[in-house]
Amino acid sequence: MGATGKDLTQSAQARSTVGTEKKGIVAVKTILQLGNPGLREVAERVVDPAAPEIRVLVADLGDTLAHWRASTGYGRGIAAPQIGVGKRVIFLQLPGAEAWPLVNPEITWRSADKIVVWDACLSFLSIFMQVERHREIVVRYQDLQGEWKEVRAGEQRDLSELLQHEIDHLDGILAIDRITDMRTMCTREEFEKRYRAGSPYAVAATKR
């Protein structure tokens, strides 16, 4: 938020020593929880995706997501604002796939067709809900070399809904803002007991 490149470098250095759970070279950051105003801020565009502080940020996102995945069984994607960094960077780690950082991602096309899916968030993992998403989208983004790329995402591997969730974070929008019916809201325990098998969170996320 209004930080200069110098500030960012300093904060990247600060982050590597403060608020960091050190496990070798792994840096697990605290994930902001629902109610933290940082989750509601609009993130800034990244001017130079190849900058060292963006590499540090992507490594932090990867380590933090891996930690949550290992300790909770949830976590396919994470957005920079969730670890308190107001930059337009998201990071996906789909089961069995390569780590996938997306810088300055923007949705350039949305299908008129929509779907209703179960969703949750590492920023409020105790609550699950049904949300509405576009069935297919096209996303334009930069890789860590700054090269522009485009991906068409559909229901395969639940990629479309995942990208919509993470890109929403960059605009301060949370899954709870997309609830179709408040009565679908449930606790994690009830979700796992009743609905998980038919959701994107099923262990082998290969349905559809």
Instruction: Return the active site residues.
Output: 166
Which of 54, 121 has the CB closer to Zn ion? 121
Distances from the Cα of 81 to the Cαs of 21, 36, 57, 122, 196, in angstroms? 18, 11, 11, 12, 27
Q: Which two tokens stand for residue 102?
A: 């997306």
Return the range that interacts with Zn ion (CB under 5 A); candidates 43-51, 93-101, 121-129, 139-147: 121-129
Binding Zn ion (rule: CB under 5 A), the pick from 57, 80, 83, 121 is 121
DSSP states of 78-105: EEGGGGT--BSEEEE--TTS--EEEEEE
Could you tell me where the beta strands, DSSP code E, fall in the chain? 21-23, 26-28, 77-79, 89-92, 100-110, 114-119, 127-134, 137-142, 148-153, 186-187
Q: How far is the CB of 79 from Zn ion (least distance, A)?
A: 7
Q: How far is the CB of 24 from Zn ion (least distance, A)?
A: 27
Amino acid symbol at 176: I
**Which residue's CB atom is positioned nearest to Zn ion?**
121
Per CB under 5 A, does 39 bind Zn ion?
no
Binding mask 72-111 for Zn ion (x = CB under 5 A): ----------------------------------------
Q: How far is the CB of 48 from Zn ion (least distance, A)?
A: 26
Count the residues of the shown chain that bind Zn ion, applying the rule CB under 5 A. 1
Residues in the site for Zn ion, rule: CB under 5 A?
121
